[in-house]
Structure 1
Amino acid sequence: MKLAVRRVTPGSGLALDRDDGALAALTDGLMLVELGESAALSVPPRFAGLWCPRVGRVHASSVDGELALTGDTVFASDSERALEIACAAGARCVGVLATQRTWARLSSVATGAIAPAPTVFPALHEAPAGFGAALTQLAAAAAQASVLPTARIAWLAHALHDMQAPYADLIARCRGRSLVHRKQTFLRLQRVRHRIATCTDGELDVAQLARMASYSNWHLIRSFSAVFGETPYAHFMAHRIARARGLIEKSALGIGDIAMATGFDSQSSLTRAIKRHLGVSSSELRRRPDAAAQTAVRGEYDAAEPSPR
């Protein structure tokens, strides 16, 4: 498999849609991208990527929102969205890009069968041990040869497979006459799910999410619930409370300030939600961060589901 490399030097920027050599290389191969501190990269649609900060904080933004990435995460980016990757001062990032067809070819190394695209679905994953360092080593190897060695192909294929393997059961729940159709359905729903998980400081706009998936409001709620086992609102509240819990346990902010930072109307609405969802009060959570707070049953917030707008 062909391998190309682009290095974005500190303080500079690169727009791949203006780099004819990069676009040509991506038609049937992989591209490794290394970004130095304060560097920025613009990625046009058509290409899905895996992005791993090496040092510091990296920002990834698209029409679906913005993510702050750290070194313990891998961001799988959407092939149907333009993407901006920007390193903060002192930060560095490495990523690998390809078309969905190339990712499908790569995944066949891990599965033993060529699966139909799409293969990479938008998500934020926990970084496998040594993932960023291994990508950096791949970039160094590419400087010596333009073809990816078999062993390195296998490593990348298995890393991708392990990160996204949990989606297989979810894809099987999607409606569709074939695996291709079910994957396309899952991509729509996963895009919505990812948007919800990364934008919890505002209000849930079901109509906007439905437009993103090209569904009606009610069809989105039914389809999302059938695949993920909870409504969009329940998923939204679970992530909002998880964010609030992290701030309660790890910061010195007051409960009222945390409520405002995480999109709750008031301190009392946050404390009620924590009690209902986790089974402990916010003050208990702060005093005993290691306490065995009970996780809410999926769908707990279904009764409070707002009417689709």
Structure 2
Amino acid sequence: MRIGCERLANGGRLDIGGGEGAGTASTLRVVVGGGRGCVMQGTAQAAMVFVPLRGRLQLAEGDNLHTLLPGELLVVEQGQRVQAIGRGAALWIALACGASAWRRAAGADTPTDPVLLPALHPASRALRSTVIDVARAAAHEKNTTLALATFAAAMTELQAEFDPLIARCPGRTASQRRAVFLRLQRVRNVMAANCHLDLDIAGFARMASYSPCHFIRAFSTVYGETPHAVLVEQRLRRAHRLINASGLAITEVARVSGFEDRCAFARSFKRRFGITASGLREQCRAAA
């Protein structure tokens, strides 16, 4: 396995689109970004995992825009155009692990299936520590086998939540069912990143290569919720995060989260979180 480790400091730039160690099947590439305004961009040559450790990481993934905070982890598909920008005193790690390198670390024996599915996951302190261990081993050119195996096991456990969903997908083989789930998961990721926009079922169906009726049926069967219900949930989560992390007025939070009706937002927020948006804002101020 070839290992590459690069560091980005204030204002540094890195193009991941090619060159030695850019993400071939047998390569592990680690990028550590620290400080204000460092930028990593290009086309992901392998599945990538982004883990912010401090501050905010702004990540463009194709047409999806994410603001990642510590405690979150984003998996980006191979072939996606990405741009990662650290904000303020941000510190973050990106790992690009080629297919054969990842399968070796995870002990997988499936040569054709995607090794990681695109998703936003919570990242526990233990998982973040494991990512740091991988970066340290790569930076000092030490044996990364143990650290990478530990990280692969953690990611496998994290993505095991998808197993029952994949089992609900149509298809004669596991690979076919996984391929169907990948199409639906891409749509769900678009919902999460763009929930504040005016999105429609017809557009989602086109992304998944389904008719609108077939898409709604397949999505609801797999996730146990309609696309509309998932979209509303994503908007509520966005609002919850903005109330915690921004000084926007509650009315503005509702608007930038995709809710045109303030009263409908208030009712949905209270029903979902058991507290009003204003009550949550007061809690945040008291805690601060």
Quick one: structure 1 residues 178 and 20, their matched pair in 2 at CA, closer, same or farther if it must change by over 3 Å? same
Q: How far did 1:214 drift? A: 2.2
Distance in 2 between residues matched to 1:120 and 1:104, nearest whole Å: 10
Q: Is the 8 A contact 1:79 1:100 kept in 2?
A: no
**Worse overlay, 239-248 or 121-130:** 239-248
How much does 1:282 deviate? 5.8
Q: CA deviation at 1:21?
A: 0.3
Q: Identify the residue that residue 173 of structure 1 maps to in structure 2.
A: 168
Does structure 1 retain, via aligned residues, the 8 Å contact 2:8–2:31?
Answer: yes
| 1:187 and 2:186 correspond | no
Which of 208, 222, 236 is 1:241 aligned to? 236
Alignment match, 2:9: 9
Identity %: 31
Q: What is the CA deviation profile of residues 63-110 of structure 1, one whole-angstrom value per residue up to 9, with x for unaligned ones?
A: 23111111111111122421111111321211110234543343226x
Matches within 5 A, 1:191-270: 191-245=186-240, 254-270=249-265
Please point out which of 33, 36, 51 is paired with 1:35. 33
Residue 203 to residue 177, structure 1, CA distance change in 2 (3 Å): same
**What is residue 102 of structure 2 aligned with on the other side?**
103
Unpaired runs of at least 5, structure 2: none
Measure the CA separation in 2 of the matches of 1:285 and 1:89: 26
C-alpha distance in 2 between matches for 1:222 and 1:267: 30
Match of 2:86 in 1: 87
Contact 2:39–2:85 at 8 Å: present in 1 too? yes
2:135 corresponds to: 139
- 1:233-267 CA-to-partner distances (Å, cap 9, x unmatched) read 11001221333355567877554333222222232
Q: 1:278 to 1:58 in 2, by over 3 A?
A: closer
Q: TM-score, normalised by structure 1?
A: 0.80
Distance 1:242 1:35, change over 3 A: closer
**Deviation by residue 1:92-130 (Cα, 9 ceiling, x = unmatched):** 211110234543343226xxx547421211111111324
Deviations 1:199-248 (A, max 9, x none): 22122222222222222222221111110011111100122133335556
Tell me the distance in 2 between the aligned counterparts of 1:138 and 1:287: 40
In the aligned structure 1, how far is the partner of 2:10 from the partner of 2:272?
A: 45
75-84 or 133-142: bigger deviation? 133-142
Q: TM-score normalized by structure 2?
A: 0.85
Cα pair distance change 1:278/1:54, threshold 3 Å: closer
Quick check: 1:45–1:83 contact (8 Å CA) kept in 2? yes
Structure 1 gap ranges (5+): 290-309
